[in-house]
Structure 1
Amino acid sequence: MRHRYSILLFPLHVFFDFACLNASFVGAYWLKFDTLDAIAQPPYQLLWVAFNVCWAVIVAITQPYIFPRQLFKAGPLLGKLLYLVVLHAAVISLFWVFVQGVYFSRGQLLYTYLLFVLSGGLFRIGGLLFLQEYRARGYNSRRFIVVGYGKLAHTITRFYEVHPEMGFRFQGYFDWYTADNEAQLAGSYNDIVDFVKREQIDCVYCCLPYVDNTQLKQLVDKSEILDIQVKLLVDFRGFLTKGASVEYHDFLPVLNLSTQEIDNFRVAFLKRCFDVSFSLLVLLLGSPIFLLVAAITRFSSKGPIFYAQERVGHRGHPFMIYKFRSMYVDAEKAGPSLSQGSADNRITPWGRFMRQTRIDELPQFFNVLRGDMSVVGPRPERQYFIDKITEVAPEYTNLLKVKPGITSIGQVRFGYAASVDEMVQRLRFDLLYPDRRSLLLDLWIIAQTLRVMVQGRGR
C-alpha cells in the first residue's frame, strides 16, 4: 500500500522534538545551577511536566509535522519551529503566573528555549539534507504522470528534473492520440486507470487547457479508489508576466487581468523625486566622464557608442534601455544570449573594464529621467528570458510591481547572470526589494554599488 507521506517521518519528528525539548530543559538547568540534583524534585518537577504536557497539546492541536514535499525546505521548517516555540513560551508564561512560580529561574527558562531552538533547528536542517540526498538518489520517491499533452506538461516535468531532491519520478504523458503527439505519449485516457494501478502512481497532474474536462471529472471521481492525488495545472504565465494577480473570493480563485496596484503615494513620490534629482546630479557632474567613456568606446572598437535593447519594465510595459556598448557589433546575431562574464569573447577589452566598474550602465540615467526606470530596482530583462525564468520561478512576476532599476540587491550581491539558473539565483535577492523599498534602503544599495564600482568587482 502506498502512502502520501513517509510513515516514519511523523513519529520520528515527534520523538526528536521531545528529546530536544527535554535535553534543553536539563541542559539549561545545569548551565544555570551547575548541578542536576534537584531537577526532578519540586518545584522544577512541576515545570518539567508542564513543559512536556504543553508541547504535546500544541502538537496535537497545530499538527505541525505534515509538510508537502514542495514546502519541505529550511525556511518553512525553521519558521514553524519558531512559531511553536513562541506559542509554547506564551502558554508556559501563563502557567508561571497561574502557579505564582516566583521560585522559577527566568535564566533557566531563557536557556531552555535557546537550546531548544538550536537543537531543534539542527535536527531539522540535518534531516532535511539527509532526505534531499536520499530522495535525489531515487529512494522514497513518488511516481507521477501528466494528463493533457502540451507546453505546460513539459514545464512540470522539467521542474522535477531540476529538483530531484523532491523525489518525484515522471512516468509518462497521457492524452488522446494525434499525429503530433503519438510518439510522446505513454497512453490515452482509456489507459490511465490500468496504468495507475499497474505502475503504482501516486500523483496525476492535469494540464489546462489541454486536458479533456469530461475525462478529468471521471479521474477525480476515481481518485479516492485509486489512492492518488489529482492536481490541476493552469498556465497563467502569459498573463502574470504582464502584471496580473490572483484574488480569492472565499475559496474561489479569480484571475485579475487588469490589476492596477495602488502604490504607497508617499514612497512613490519620494522615490521619484530622488530619482530625478540624483540622475540630474550624476548627468551634470559626470558629463566629463560620459564624454571620456564615449570617446574610448568609439575608438576602441568598431561600432556605435551606445547600445539599445528592448526590456520589460513596470507592469510588463516594454521600453528601450541604453548602455555604453561593451560588446562587438552583431554579438547576438545567432539569437538571444546572456553574457558569460570574463570568458565571453564577444566582450571588447574596454567593455570588460566597463562591466567590472559598471560604468557601461551610466546612460541608463536618461531612462530614469524618462520614467522608464528608477535608480534602484530589480534589473529589467528581455521577454525571452522572462518566459524562461517564469517556467522555473513564477514568483519573478512580483518584480514587475515596481520600476526596474540601474542597480539592485541582486546586482550588488550576485552580479550579472550568465544563465537562466543564475538569473533565478539572483532573483532570490531581488525579491526582497518590492515589499521593503524605502529611501534608506535605496541609499544603502547605492552605497554598496559605489563600493563594487571602486573595487572593480562587477561581473
Structure 2
Amino acid sequence: MRHRYSILFFPLHVIIDFLSLNTAFLSAYWMKFQSLEAVAEAPYASLWWLFNIIWLIEILLLKPYIYPRQLFKSGHLIRQLLLLTFIHMAVIAVCWVAIQGYYYSREQLLVTYILFLSLGAAFRIGGVLFLKEYRARGYNNRRYIIVGYGKLANTIRAFYDAHPEMGFHFCGYFDESTSENARFLQGGYETLLEYTRSNRIDCVYCCMPYMDNERLKSVVENAEILDYQVKILVDFRGFIARSTSVEYHDVLPVLNLSSDLVSDFRVSVFKRAFDIVFALLALILGSPLFLIIAVITRLTSFGPTFYAQERIGKGGKPFKIYKFRSMYVDAEKMGPVLSGGLLDNRITPWGRFMRKTRLDEIPQFYNVLIGDMSVVGPRPERQYFIDQIVEIAPEYRSLLTVKPGITSIGQIKYGYAASIDEMVQRLRYDLLYPKRRSFLFDIWIIAQTLRVMAQGRGK
C-alpha cells in the first residue's frame, strides 16, 4: 500500500484532538475544584459528554482533517482550530442557555477552552515541524511527473524543489521529443503510462499549453487503473483576475476571469469617498506647510514650483501628475530617464530632502481630488517605462485595473526605482495591492508612509 503511514494521519489527528479536549476539561475541573471525584457525576458528567458529542458532530459535518499537503502549514491548521473551537463554544453557550445551566462554572469553561487551544496548537505546530523534517530527509514522499515541457513545467518543479518539506519527489518530464527539449525529458508520450505504472507515480501534472486534449484524456482515463492523481496546470499569470470563479453552463464548467463587479463597486464607492475626505483635509489643514515648501522650492533653484508629467492611470488612461519640483529645469532634455536615487546630480539639494520625506508628492492630493489618483494604490508610471516593464513582467497589466496612488506598498518597502529592474522589484510589492485592497489595508499603508516620512527614509 502506498504511503502506508499517511493513512494514519486522519485517525491520529482525531484521537489527539479528543485527548486534548478531555485533558483540558479534566484539568480545568481540577484547577477549579481541586478534585476529580465528582466530574463523572451530575451535573458535570452531562457537560463532559456534551463536549465530546459536539466535537464529534463538527468532525463529521465539517471534515476538518482533510486537506492537501500544500495546506499542511501551522498558520492554516491553527486558524482552522480557532474556527472549530469558536463553533464549539457557540453551541455550548446555546445549550447552556437552553437548559439554564447557570450552575456550571464559567471559569472552568474558560480555562477548558484556553487549555484546549494551547494543547491543540502545540500538537499542530509540533506535527508540522516533525513532518517537514521527516519529508526533507526523503521519507513519506509523493512521486510526481510533469507532462509537457516548458516554463510552466519548470515553475511547478521549482516550487516543490524550494519546499522539500511538502514531500514531493520529481521523477521526470514527459513530452514529444524535439531537438530543443530532448535532453530534459525522461521519456515521450508512448512510454508515459508504462513509466507511471512501473515507478508507482502518485501524481501527474499536465501542462495544458504543451499537450493536446487527446493525450490529456488518455492520462485521465488511466488514472484510476494505475492509482495516480491528475492535476492540470494552466498558465493564467499576467491576466488572472482578483475574483476568479467557476460557472457551470449545464454540465460545462466555465472559468470566469472577470472581477466581482458588485464587490468592486462597493469598494470603489467607499474608497472614493475616503479619498475625497482625506484629500480635502490634507489640502486644507496642510496649506500653511505647503506654502512654505512652495516658497523654498522656488527660492532654492531656478524654475517653476510645480512639476507636471504624463503618467498612465486606471485602464491605461493618461493623466498629468503634479509634484513639487525636485530636479533642476530640463533634467530630461535628452529623453525619459529614471532617477538615479538621492545621489542623482539632477536633483536639487532641497529636492533630496523632499524626496527623503516624500514632501514632493503632496501636490498629488489635487490629482486625488479630481479623480485621477487615489490616496493608496500602485504608483503610476510613464508609458515609455511600462512598455519595458511588461516585456519582463506581463503581470504588471493587472495594476492598471485599479487607480494609481500617492503611496503604495512598493513605495514603503522599496522606494524610488533607479532602473527597469528596480521597477520590476518594486512591482512585486505593488502586485499584492489589488488582491488585498480594503479600507483597513489602506489605513495601514498610510500609517507606514507617515512613519517613513517622519524617519526620512525615502530613497
TM-score normalised over the length of structure 1 = 0.76
Say whether residues 1:274 and 2:277 are aligned partners: yes
Q: What is the deviation of 1:207?
A: 1.4
* Structure 1 residues 319 and 212: alpha-carbon distance in aligned structure 2, compared to 1, 3 A threshold: farther
SS in 2 for 1:230: strand
| Residues in 2 aligned to 1:294 and 1:405: alpha-carbon distance in whole angstroms | 26
Q: What is the deviation of 1:156?
A: 1.9
SS in 1 for 2:233: strand
Q: What is the deviation of 1:456?
A: 2.5
SS in 1 for 2:181: coil
Question: Which residue of 437, 441, 459 corresponds with 2:439?
Answer: 437
* Structure 1 residues 453 and 246: alpha-carbon distance in aligned structure 2, compared to 1, 3 A threshold: same
Counterpart of 2:175?
175
For structure 1, which segment, 37-46 or 253-262, has the greater mean C-alpha deviation from structure 2 after superposition?
A: 253-262
Counterpart of 2:451?
451
* Structure 1 residues 16 and 401: alpha-carbon distance in aligned structure 2, compared to 1, 3 A threshold: farther
* Structure 1 residues 259 and 43: alpha-carbon distance in aligned structure 2, compared to 1, 3 A threshold: closer
Q: What is the deviation of 1:184?
A: 2.5
* Structure 1 residues 294 and 279: alpha-carbon distance in aligned structure 2, compared to 1, 3 A threshold: farther
- In the TM superposition, 1:396-415 aligns within 5 A as 402-408=402-408, 412=412, 414-415=413-414
Q: What is the deviation of 1:188?
A: 1.2
Q: Over residues 320-353 of structure 1, what are the superposed CA-to-partner deviations in whole Å (9 max), with x where a residue is unaligned?
A: 8787779xx99xx9x99x99x99x9999896886
Q: Over residues 241-266 of structure 1, what are the superposed CA-to-partner deviations in whole Å (9 max), with x where a residue is unaligned?
A: 6x784453377233346986651264
* Structure 1 residues 164 and 260: alpha-carbon distance in aligned structure 2, compared to 1, 3 A threshold: same
* Structure 1 residues 268 and 218: alpha-carbon distance in aligned structure 2, compared to 1, 3 A threshold: same
Note if contact 2:160-2:166 (Cα within 8 Å) is conserved in structure 1. Answer: yes
Larger Rg: 1 or 2?
2
Say whether residues 1:286 and 2:290 are aligned partners: yes
Q: What is the deviation of 1:9?
A: 1.8
Note if contact 1:202-1:227 (Cα within 8 Å) is conserved in structure 2. Answer: yes
SS in 2 for 1:70: helix
Counterpart of 1:158?
158
Q: What is the deviation of 1:423?
A: 6.4
For structure 1, which segment, 98-107 or 283-292, has the greater mean C-alpha deviation from structure 2 after superposition?
A: 283-292
| Residues in 2 aligned to 1:233 and 1:161: alpha-carbon distance in whole angstroms | 17
| Residues in 1 aligned to 2:302 and 2:138: alpha-carbon distance in whole angstroms | 56
Counterpart of 1:302?
none
Letter in 1 for 2:439: R
SS in 2 for 1:26: helix
Note if contact 2:20-2:120 (Cα within 8 Å) is conserved in structure 1. Answer: yes
Note if contact 2:135-2:165 (Cα within 8 Å) is conserved in structure 1. Answer: yes
| Residues in 2 aligned to 1:56 and 1:168: alpha-carbon distance in whole angstroms | 32
- In the TM superposition, 1:341-356 aligns within 5 A as 356=356
| Residues in 1 aligned to 2:223 and 2:232: alpha-carbon distance in whole angstroms | 13
Letter in 2 for 1:254: L
| Residues in 2 aligned to 1:11 and 1:320: alpha-carbon distance in whole angstroms | 63
Letter in 1 for 2:273: L
SS in 2 for 1:209: helix
Q: Over residues 416-451 of structure 1, what are the superposed CA-to-partner deviations in whole Å (9 max), with x where a residue is unaligned?
A: 4979788657766x46851x327xx75664344223
- In the TM superposition, 1:134-153 aligns within 5 A as 134-153=134-153
Q: What is the deviation of 1:171?
A: 2.4
SS in 1 for 2:170: strand
* Structure 1 residues 227 and 364: alpha-carbon distance in aligned structure 2, compared to 1, 3 A threshold: farther
* Structure 1 residues 160 and 357: alpha-carbon distance in aligned structure 2, compared to 1, 3 A threshold: farther
Counterpart of 1:249?
248
* Structure 1 residues 401 and 126: alpha-carbon distance in aligned structure 2, compared to 1, 3 A threshold: farther
| Residues in 2 aligned to 1:385 and 1:133: alpha-carbon distance in whole angstroms | 40
SS in 2 for 1:180: coil
Percent identity reads: 48
Q: What is the deviation of 1:218?
A: 0.8
* Structure 1 residues 260 and 60: alpha-carbon distance in aligned structure 2, compared to 1, 3 A threshold: closer
Letter in 2 for 1:42: A
* Structure 1 residues 276 and 92: alpha-carbon distance in aligned structure 2, compared to 1, 3 A threshold: closer
Letter in 1 for 2:24: S
User: Tell me, which stretches of 5 or more residues in structure 2 are unaligned?
Assistant: none
Q: What is the deviation of 1:306?
A: 7.4
SS in 2 for 1:146: strand
Note if contact 1:356-1:453 (Cα within 8 Å) is conserved in structure 2. Answer: yes
SS in 1 for 2:204: strand
Counterpart of 1:200?
200
| Residues in 2 aligned to 1:437 and 1:20: alpha-carbon distance in whole angstroms | 39
| Residues in 2 aligned to 1:356 and 1:27: alpha-carbon distance in whole angstroms | 57
- In the TM superposition, 1:366-385 aligns within 5 A as 368=368, 371-379=371-379
| Residues in 1 aligned to 2:199 and 2:238: alpha-carbon distance in whole angstroms | 34
Q: What is the deviation of 1:20?
A: 1.3
Letter in 1 for 2:145: I
Letter in 2 for 1:209: P
SS in 2 for 1:239: coil
Note if contact 1:377-1:406 (Cα within 8 Å) is conserved in structure 2. Answer: yes
* Structure 1 residues 409 and 217: alpha-carbon distance in aligned structure 2, compared to 1, 3 A threshold: same
Say whether residues 1:21 and 2:21 are aligned partners: yes
Note if contact 2:374-2:406 (Cα within 8 Å) is conserved in structure 1. Answer: yes
* Structure 1 residues 349 and 203: alpha-carbon distance in aligned structure 2, compared to 1, 3 A threshold: farther
* Structure 1 residues 8 and 361: alpha-carbon distance in aligned structure 2, compared to 1, 3 A threshold: farther
Q: What is the deviation of 1:222?
A: 0.2
SS in 2 for 1:8: helix
| Residues in 2 aligned to 1:259 and 1:317: alpha-carbon distance in whole angstroms | 22
Q: Over residues 38-71 of structure 1, what are the superposed CA-to-partner deviations in whole Å (9 max), with x where a residue is unaligned?
A: 2233322232233223322322332211111122
Say whether residues 1:211 and 2:215 are aligned partners: no
TM-score normalised over the length of structure 2 = 0.76
* Structure 1 residues 235 and 298: alpha-carbon distance in aligned structure 2, compared to 1, 3 A threshold: farther
| Residues in 2 aligned to 1:424 and 1:136: alpha-carbon distance in whole angstroms | 29
* Structure 1 residues 359 and 123: alpha-carbon distance in aligned structure 2, compared to 1, 3 A threshold: farther
Note if contact 2:407-2:446 (Cα within 8 Å) is conserved in structure 1. Answer: yes
Q: Over residues 109-135 of structure 1, what are the superposed CA-to-partner deviations in whole Å (9 max), with x where a residue is unaligned?
A: 122112212221222223223323433
| Residues in 2 aligned to 1:177 and 1:202: alpha-carbon distance in whole angstroms | 23
Q: What is the deviation of 1:230?
A: 0.5
Note if contact 1:275-1:369 (Cα within 8 Å) is conserved in structure 2. Answer: no
User: Tell me, which stretches of 5 or more residues in structure 1 are unaligned?
Assistant: 300-304
